[in-house]
Structure 1
Amino acid sequence: MATSGQRKLLIDTDAGVDDAQAILMALKSPDVDVIGITCVAGNVDAMQVGKNVLRVLQVVNRLDIPVYIGCNEALLGDEKESSDYYHGSDGLGDVPDPEAPDKSLIQSEHAVNALIRLSKKYKGELSLVCLAPLTNIAMGLRLDPGLGPRLKHCYIMGGNHHGKGNITVAAEFNFYFDPEAAYVVLNQLKAPITIVTWETCMEHSIPWVNILRYNNLFSDELNVRNVFDAGVDDAQAILMALKSPDVDVIGITCVAGNVDAMQVGKNVLRVLQVVNRLDIPVYIGCNEALLGDEKESSDYYHGSDGLGDVPDPEAPDKSLIQSEHAVNALIRLSKKYKGELSLVCLAPLTNIAMGLRLDPGLGPRLKHCYIMGGNHHGKGNITVAAEFNFYFDPEAAYVVLNQLKAPITIVTWETCMEHSIPWECYFNLRDKGGDVCKFLSSIEKKSCEYAQKQKWTTFISADVFIISCFLRPDVIKTCCDVYATVELKGQYTTGQMVVDWQKALKRPSNVRVVTKINQDLFEGMLEDLFKDKNTHQKT
């Protein structure tokens, strides 16, 4: 039990045999207060880890310590070889325990959320010991970049410093199981980190003759029983959704892309204010890509604020933004509206990928997922081969396309280009009058000036195409069901959506790619946006 002056410790574990002894050593120390144990997939799945931790705690009558279940897959969802040949299929040597504690003792709060909460509660006091793949920690950083600076210290068992591996020729198990998470933590945690590598463990391993002596360490206690980035085009897409009488926009989640996530939230509030819909909840999500890589912004097109750098002295106060993180809101709403909720993604897919890591059941609860992003002929708009949303966070796009397990419809960059509207049509639309027209004209001014300077022959507003497909499925003239993934390693092609047109990979279709739009119907929908000016209001 906790006493005054004890050091606060949180343990992140995948609860194999060696983790069990490490946990018991921490509990033995009189000057350490173990405030919780977070579980992550590694030696076994995350729930089995939780059960194993309960067994360990029961041995020393410490079931008062909270146990939290975390991520059950690596950051990118890649499956890796287990170590059941060493730890057993259950992670604790396959030793039956008829009196094992009931899993109802496990906390309902997700391990990642618990990690963030406890780091705030014990700011500057909490040490984190990581005995497992670093998925929970990387996820915590993506949800809250301030996590690391709040920690007193982070201790990691993992990696190698002489290139000697224990699971491959060159990799240690914890880092190999989720290398992207390890990359994120080492490069972005911004907390003091101490690592004990695999080589150090090998060089200081215990002779067999001493094993029994060390096993008596605990003899006095042992009782042995066993998703928007709110740029200019996003604004028009949101307004189109709000215009539709048969659509209930239950929330808008914000993610970094054109601008940082908080600025996205402020932009969304400005859009909602134009049509008197500030009743719609707005949630701030991830402010960095899944791996934390920084990418070039598009301020030359959308402006440094994402809405054309048009001042708004009467902008809504940011206090209207919800305190709940966008990823948690997405998960909660998918449960509340199971089988009814459609998700329209106008931005990098970081929030959605994070939701999948926190709750793999997210996708099957969605009715449909509509994505503006990627490309199906290899034409890029931010690099030679990549579209902006997928390029900004290619790992997130990879996760969503391969693992969402929900119907996905994608409108790619090429489809947007092929169905962009002539300038004459654009200016006719903006001459309709009214608050919406005035607002869009003002925020699009910088984009139009850039486009005309580049001698674009048409006006391209990409996000309105995917929202149109959601609102009116008959706007889709032709489409293809295909398998598509995302290139992660290409020197020139990182972020490109790779479509298996020839079925060479022999994988089932995972997306529907819209290739042709009914232009007349689409332009009619644009005109409808400016009719009956009060119909954006909630009824």
Structure 2
Amino acid sequence: MGRYVVFDCDVGIDDAWGLMMLIKAEEAYKRRPDLANSPKKFEIIGITCVQGNTDVDHAVINTLRVLDAVNRNDLPVYKGCSSPILQRHWENPEIFHGKDGFGDVQHEKQVNLDLVRAEHAVNAMYDFVCKYPKMVDFILVGPLTNFAMCINMYGSKFVDNIGNIFIMGGNYQGQGNVTKSAEFNFMMDPEAAHIVLNSINTPLTLLPWETCIDEHFDISLDWRLNVLGSVQSPFIELLNVVERSVFIPKGIEGWLASDAVLVAAYLFPHLTVKVRRLYHAAVELTGNHTRGQMVIDHLKQEKDNAHIIMEVNSEQYKQIIAWTAGLEGVDMECELGKDKSNMGKYVVYDCDVGTDDAWGLMMLIKAEEAYKRRVDLANSPSRFEIIGITCVQGNTEVDYAVINTLRVLDAANRNDIPVYKGCSNLVKPRAWENPKYFAGKDGFGDVKHEKPVDLNLVQPMHAVNAMYDFVCKHPKEVDFLLVGPLTNFAMCISMYGSKFLDNVGQIFIMGGNYRGKGNTTKSAEFNFMMDPEAAHIVLANVKTPLTILPWEACDDGAARVTLDWRLNVLGSVQTPFIDLLNRVERALLIPKGTKRWLVCDALAVAAYLFPHLVVNETQLHHATIELAGIHTRGQMVIDHLHQEKKNANIITVVNIDNYQKIIAWTGGVRGVHMECELGKSQ
């Protein structure tokens, strides 16, 4: 069945739009066979009414009017609390929606109050979760009195068995809409909001007032009345009468239905929610000026309890509300069933772009585009979006790394991917110098290029700050592929600490060595040797084991992929990317007499994308970095005695034959298809 939904409301205009949207989505799930098994499919099992926009009796009447207009009198309606938890000494100076919450207009048709269930809304909420434990989602778009009373009456028997909680209410920047510093729903019962935020076990989702009045939310009342209002349906006719009576006399030009925005965030999170951050939220109960204000713990001293939606996509929401109204030509049903988890995750590619980074980046791009293109992969948890490429010193200085990245993106026709310039120096000044520039001083063979890159495409934010910003926007959903020295990532840990590390997703590293075999010094691998302190910081601070592809795993089977195959098979593909890499790799590898072709960074990306094909063996160990040795500085040291907490899944054996197929697919060799293997795991 998927989910069950309770819509808790104080039905005024915005509640009505939210309820209509919810009903339309429920009916689409029932009607469409392709959505029959969607985990997001839901059934509305109750509409619970509460005091707020109007008294609870009028909220019930308005709910029944909406249900009658949409021919859904089958939905159970429950009358809830008529007063806040504590007697209210403050009174709302303006009854915005009219005394009856629906503009005080006259209606020809009377509602049938016999449809209201006898059970109190609070008891109904408890009964729902007892009947369907952990399967009932609550969409709370009025004061939180009913929900808080259920917590007070039933405690953990209720709280432990609820599903998701979505709330429209509160404020996170101190901007009020009913007092100087408080939002309406929270101010109508501050104690209720306090009880809810203080009692939940897992973070709820909250749409605050400031997000709804963002300057980008520019939907006009004219569009509402003359475009949406032109739709011929009983619901639109009802809301036309109500909204004209409420808005036109006030001279209002913009149109906002906050509760409908929350429902859109519940139904279409991948379209609606642009920025969401995890915080601890509390409610001020005693302030003379701030009672009812929601307060955010910016110091991160208390346990997070709320995913706060800080930015929404107003254009997408406008499409969703047009679909809700039944505007001709607007179809959003194909987007139902998707969510942020359907998006899978986000990826940051941190690199010092030389040729192996370039191949890894191209592989990542090709996989991302396959996930977007293939309908059968739409709901894969491995689906991802590349949200940033962060550049660091390593194969070359950071400015050249940026230029090389831009060349690859231009060749792949992906200049839309944001590029960030990162650290130009390592954590600790380096007494040791790399005796040779294997990839040339510019990291790309020092060849001449006819076309200059557009440096205006580089983002102004520093790569380190961008990394932190990404995890704040998408906590625990951002994977980091680190294929250069670890300076950027280590600096982010040093600057932001647990605020950063507690919110990262998976970490994949190409670097280090686990058998003491070096490729830059006798005992150190290049990426770790280029900034040993950075590698130490990362390994010493990670909370859960990261994945490392060390040098030896790359080197062991490298002879099986030849430079001849690279240049004459892959090199025969006619694409701008292959043309670019042909010139660079010929300039680099042929003069050196190289026989084998090894691109370690691409192998690390292949292990991330196709672990079931590439990774034959891993070992879980504690790994650290030697910082003081005369001969061993930069070496990764494995705790074979198993005395310390394990922090690294080390890939020790890879399948080079499968990797060769993957790199052939990356290059576009005809007849090689790997897309059917995406989304599979070890």
Q: What TM-score do you get using the length of structure 2 for normalisation? A: 0.43
Q: Which amino acid aligns with 1:243?
A: K
Residues 412-447 of structure 1 show CA distances to partners (whole Å, capped at 9, x for unaligned) of 111111132223432322223322221111111233
Amino acid at match of 2:409: L
Distance 1:318 1:477 in 2: 41
What is the match of residue 143 of structure 1? none
Report the 3-state secondary structure (helix = DSSP H, G, I; strand = E; otherwise coil) of the residue aligned with 1:529: helix
2:489 aligned partner, one-letter code: I
Corresponding residue number in structure 2 for 1:115: none
Q: 1:423 aligns with which of 547, 563, 571?
A: 563
Amino acid at match of 2:579: K
Greater Rg over alpha carbons, structure? 2
Match among 441, 459, 465 for residue 582 of structure 2: 441
Residues 115-154 of structure 1 aligned to structure 2 (within 5 Å): none
Q: Deviations over 1:149-179 (max 9, x none)?
A: xxxxxxxxxxxxxxxxxxxxxxxxxxxxxxx
Is structure 2 residue 317 aligned with structure 1 residue 232?
no
Which has the higher relative contact order, 1 or 2, with Cα contacts under 8 A spaced 6 or more apart?
A: 1
Q: CA deviation at 1:232?
A: 1.4
Query: Is 2:411 the counterpart of 1:274?
Result: yes
Shift, 1:106, TM fit: 11
Alpha-carbon distance change, 242 to 299 in structure 1, aligned in 2, over 3 angstroms = farther
Residue aligning to 1:523: 660
Structure 2 Cα separation of the partners of residues 406 and 107 of structure 1? 25
Once the two structures are TM-superposed, the CA of residue 260 in structure 1 deviates from its matched residue by 1.4
Counterpart-to-counterpart distance in 2, 1:403 and 1:293: 22
Q: CA deviation at 1:481?
A: 0.6
What is the identity, as a one-letter code, of the residue corresponding to 1:482?
A: H
Contact 1:366 1:406 in 2 (8 A): no
> Counterpart amino acid of 2:554?
C
SS in 1 for 2:424: coil
One-letter amino acid of the counterpart of residue 634, structure 2: G
Aligned residues of 1:346 and 1:463 also touching (Cα < 8 A):
yes
> Following TM superposition, by how much is the alpha carbon of 1:259 offset from its aligned partner in structure 2, in angstroms?
1.4
Give 1:514 shift.
0.5
2:98 alignment partner in structure 1: none
Aligned equivalents of 2:510 and 2:458: distance in 1?
24
CA deviation string 1:276-325 (max 9, x = no partner): 11111111111111012254347532111111112223122212111100
CA distance in 2, matches of 1:415, 1:433: 31
Identity %: 34
Output one character per residue of 1:498-519: Cα deviation in whole Å (capped at 9) or x when no partner.
Answer: 011232xx11210011011122
Match of 1:57 in 2: none
Alpha-carbon distance in 2 for matches of 1:105, 1:258: 43
| Deviation readout 1:106-149 (Å, 9 max, x if unpaired) | 998xxxxxxxxxxxxxxxxxxxxxxxxxxxxxxxxxxxxxxxxx
Structure 1: stretches of 5+ with no match in the other structure:
1-103, 109-226
Asked if the contact 1:300/1:450 (under 8 Å) is kept, the reply is no
Equivalent residues in 2 for 1:28-39, closer than 5 Å: none
Report SS of the residue matched to 1:458: coil
Match for residue 465 of structure 1? 603
- 1:140-289 matches, within 5 Å, as 227-244=350-367, 245-246=370-371, 247-289=384-426
1:388 is the counterpart of 2:511:
no
In structure 2, give the amino acid aligned to 1:443: V
1:274 partner amino acid: A
Q: State the one-letter code of the partner of 1:531.
A: G
Query: In the superposition, relative to structure 1, how do residues 294 and 273 fare at CA in structure 2: closer, same or farther (>3 Å)?
Result: farther
1:290 is matched with which residue? 427
Q: 2:623: which partner in 1? A: 484
Residue 241 of structure 1: how far off its partner (Å)? 0.5
Letter in 2 for 1:270: R
Paired residue secondary structure (1:365): coil
Query: Which secondary structure does the structure 1 equivalent of 2:574 belong to?
Result: coil
Pick from 473, 483, 507: which aligns with 1:346?
A: 483
- Report the Cα offset of residue 352 of structure 1: 0.6
Partner of 2:543: 405
Q: Does the 8 Å CA contact 1:301/1:450 hold for their aligned counterparts? A: no
Displaced runs of 4+ in structure 1, greater than 3 A? 104-108, 297-300
Q: What is the one-letter code of the residue matched to 1:310? A: V
- Cα distance per residue 1:206-243 (max 9 Å; x no partner): xxxxxxxxxxxxxxxxxxxxx21111111111111001
Residue 342 of structure 2 corresponds to which residue in structure 1?
Answer: none
Cα separation, partners in 2 of 1:522 and 1:298, compared to 1, 3 Å = farther
Secondary structure at 1:459's aligned position in 2? coil
Deviations 1:458-489 (A, max 9, x none): 22211111111111111101110111100000
The answer to whether the Cα contact below 8 Å between 2:573 and 2:669 also exists between their aligned partners in 1 is no
Structure 1 residue 309 corresponds to structure 2 residue 446: yes
Shift, 1:532, TM fit = 8.0
Q: Which amino acid aligns with 1:386?
A: A
RMSD between aligned alpha carbons?
A: 2.3
C-alpha separation in 1, matches of 2:581 and 2:460: 28
- Verify the 8 A CA contact 2:508 2:548 in the aligned structure 1: yes
CA contact (8 A) 2:434 2:520 kept: no
1:249 is paired with a residue whose SS is: strand
Separation in structure 1 between the aligned mates of residue 463 and residue 431 of structure 2, nearest angstrom = 21
Amino acid at match of 1:491: I
Instruction: Please give the secondary structure, in 2, of the residue aligned with 1:338.
Output: coil
Give the secondary structure class of the aligned counterpart of 1:250.
strand
Residues in 2 aligned to 1:295 and 1:256: alpha-carbon distance in whole angstroms: 15
| Offset, 1:377 | 0.7
TM, length-normalised to structure 1: 0.55
Q: 1:491 to 1:319 in 2, by over 3 A?
A: same
What is the aligned partner in structure 1 of residue 508 from structure 2?
Answer: 370
* Residue segments in structure 2 that go unaligned for 5+ positions in a row: 1-294, 300-349, 372-383, 674-682
Residue in 1 aligned with 2:468?
331
